[in-house]
Amino acid sequence: MPLERIRAEDHGLPLEAIEPRRLYRQIADQLRHLIDQGEFAVGSRLPAERMLADRLGVSRPTVREALIALEVEGRLKIRVGSGIYVVEPQPAVAVPANVAIEGPLELLRARAFVESAIAEEAAARAKSEDIDRLDEILIEVDHQHSGDELIALDRRFHTAIATILDNAVLVRFVGELFDLRINPYFEQLARHIENASTWKETHLEHIVIRDAIAARDPLAARAAMRNHLAQAHGRFSRDFGEPALTAEASDLRSMQARIVA
């Protein structure tokens, strides 16, 4: 008997297996319903993310992922520095209903857990040629300006660290984790967040990781990688109502309604 369809023998009722839905999708469903019911009119501004999170009893990252999903659907318009606005339904990016897409912030938390351990081990095993490989990537960053090129170099840096462990499974795993960012939700969030200032912060954080590995200091390498991905999480969590990060601000901190739940 297929698992998707189970017959309750006592009553002869066909029962369909229910696919669990990620929390951010449930929040998106609720907000969409409120928009459809007219609780938030076209042109109106949604409450701040913190207020939505408090009302819904969930974390701000979950609310952020829900808002991004609704923008991808063409129901909201996010204006960094101003807020989130309801718009007339727009042509939406096709997102297959049966494809599970990890939330962008959920992905960064997973990477922090995995890659901090890999960086720790890499520092204990690194050879001079491994450090040379990291240096080559960091030097290339200075000559690249497009987002796609920087993303590719970002991926190379993280997989190069995994390569130090001489384990093909880990290299592939780190690469596949990184590639999960290639989805409509992460790409939409990146459009709002990533700019020259955030890439500068990323580059500086990569240098700290490289230096810890070159110093053969496992604990420092672990801490540097965890800090890097925590900072990335913080950048992608920045309140949409706040002004966009400027180069000056980057230098200062480079290391640093009616809702029913």
Tens digits of residue pLDDT in 24-38: 888 999 999 999 998
Structural domain contains residue 190: yes
Q: How many domains does the chain have?
A: 2
Residues in the chain: 261
pLDDT of residue 21: 62
Structural domain contains residue 10: no
Same-domain status, 47 and 77: yes
Domain range for residue 66?
Answer: 23-86
Q: Mind listing the pLDDT tens digit for each residue in 131-172?
A: 999 999 999 998 877 888 999 999 999 999 999 999 999 999
Structural domain contains residue 47: yes
Kindly state the tokens that stand for 125: 């095993």
Strand 76-79 to 13-16 pairing = unpaired
Same-domain status, 163 and 228: yes
- 79 vs 113, higher pLDDT: 113
Structural domain contains residue 12: no
Give the CATH number for residue 169.
Answer: 1.20.120.530
Torsion of CA 40, 42, 45, 51, to 10 degrees: 20
Q: What is the pTM of this model?
A: 0.76
Positive or negative, the Cα torsion across 187, 68, 242, 107?
A: negative
Same-domain status, 136 and 232: yes
Strands, DSSP E only, in the chain?
5-8, 13-16, 76-79, 83-86
Which whole number is the average pLDDT over 199-225? 97
Give the CATH number for residue 42.
Answer: 1.10.10.10
Same-domain status, 144 and 183: yes
Same-domain status, 59 and 118: no
Structural domain contains residue 117: yes
Indicate the range of 64-68, 113-117, 119-123, 160-164 predicted with least confidence.
64-68
Structural domain contains residue 92: no
Same-domain status, 122 and 244: yes
What is the C-alpha separation between 26 and 221, in angstroms, rounded? 37
Structural domain contains residue 138: yes
pLDDT of residue 93: 59
Structural domain contains residue 74: yes
Same-domain status, 237 and 133: yes
Taking CA 14 as the corner, what is the angle to CA 9 and CA 16, rounded to the nearest 5 degrees? 125
